[in-house]
Structure 1
Amino acid sequence: MFRWLRNSFLTGIVIVTPLGVTFYLIVTFVNFVDNVVKPLIPARYNPENYLPGDFTIPGLGVLIAVLLLTLLGALAANIFGRSIIGLGERILAGVPLVRNIYGAIKQIVETVFSGKSNSFKEVVLIEYPMKGTWVVAFVSANGNAELRKNISEDVIGLFVPTTPNPTSGFLLYTPRSNTVPIDMSVEEAAKLIISFGMVSPDKLPEDVQADLPPRVTDPDTGPLT
């Protein structure tokens, strides 16, 4: 009976935790955007001021932000909008520190949303920080001419994420021959990293699997590692 209660409790945690965390993140994001955008709305145009009591409209700030970004994108698509944006960028280019920050952020955003880059479309393994120790890495880009000249013709950039936060990590440059390609999507690799390795992949190459320690199995709960 105790074993059944324990398994039922753990199953409930497995079901509720992803839903709870997802709901919490969504609510936190919506509240953050609302708190930033709503104070910028003139009082006469804020529909919440015409509602009885202290009733608020959840997500109003998000809706307004989406509309404003859509209008801004439409404005930037014509000649007049591009001229204004170009003028603003030339002004920013004249400010020493701001131009570096703006240029780097702009390049990153354009790379992520353009869909023309192969960044983070391939997952590989690399021995790091010592031989026989493998880490999951994302291929970010091919090396430029200077890197190819000083390192190798097939040098590539690797982003090695940290656990459990895959948005942080560090950048490595190494010849592609030092990496082991694996049949795993970026989403699967992210799940592996976020879960501390508990969501274990079944697609590791045989030579890498041979180097990994044997999995320990609990007779009641199944694999532990």
Structure 2
Amino acid sequence: VILFPIAITFYITWWFIHFVDGFFSPIYAQLGIDIFGAHLMQLCPPFISWIGLGFVTSITFIFLVGVFMSSWLGASVLGLGEWFIKRMPFVRHIYNASKQISSAISPDQNTQAFKEVAIIRHPRIGEYAFAFIT
């Protein structure tokens, strides 16, 4: 009862860090960094661990994109990108749906954010769906 939640938490965290590391491993391989082999090839001793470097890189990348988008230039680039996407026939529907979902769950926009989560029953017995109360 005590160790199970701790073990599951560590396992899911370990899995997530390795999953994110997988995105950046080709870039690091070109730089000579073997994040899964846990050492910098020929430059560092093999006991220095680099596991989690992709996770740190992704957090840093997200932070830098946020800093850039909060500037005037970033807002201009975002506006131009939205203008371009909204003129594409199929892509604009996907973009609008994902933008509505992100604005609904964003804590910064209290006017559009949902207040509660509810479970509603469908006409068939045993079928339920999640609903967001605004």
TM bracket, shorter-chain basis:
0.7 to 0.9
On the 8 A contact 1:93/1:99 being kept in 2, the answer is yes
Letter in 2 for 1:141: I
TM-score (norm 1): 0.46
Residue in structure 1 matched with residue 69 of structure 2 by the alignment: 76
CA distance in structure 1 between the aligned counterparts of 2:75 and 2:100, rounded to whole angstroms: 17
Question: Is residue 2:110 matched to residue 1:122?
Answer: no
Question: Is residue 2:29 matched to residue 1:38?
Answer: no
- CA RMSD across the alignment: 3.2
- How many aligned positions are there? 125
Larger Rg: 1
Where does structure 1 lack aligned partners over 5 or more consecutive residues? 1-13, 143-225
CA deviation vs aligned residue, 1:90-132 (integer Å, no higher than 9, x gap): 222232222211221122112212341452x435575x356xx
Letter in 2 for 1:43: L
Where does structure 2 lack aligned partners over 5 or more consecutive residues? none
Residue in structure 2 matched with residue 57 of structure 1 by the alignment: 50
Question: Is residue 2:40 matched to residue 1:48?
Answer: yes
Cα 1:85/1:124, change in 2 over 3 Å? closer
Residue in structure 2 matched with residue 156 of structure 1 by the alignment: none
CA deviation vs aligned residue, 1:62-100 (integer Å, no higher than 9, x gap): 111111111111111111111111222222223222221
Question: Is residue 2:16 matched to residue 1:29?
Answer: yes
Question: Is residue 2:8 matched to residue 1:16?
Answer: no
Letter in 1 for 2:81: G
TM-score (norm 2): 0.72
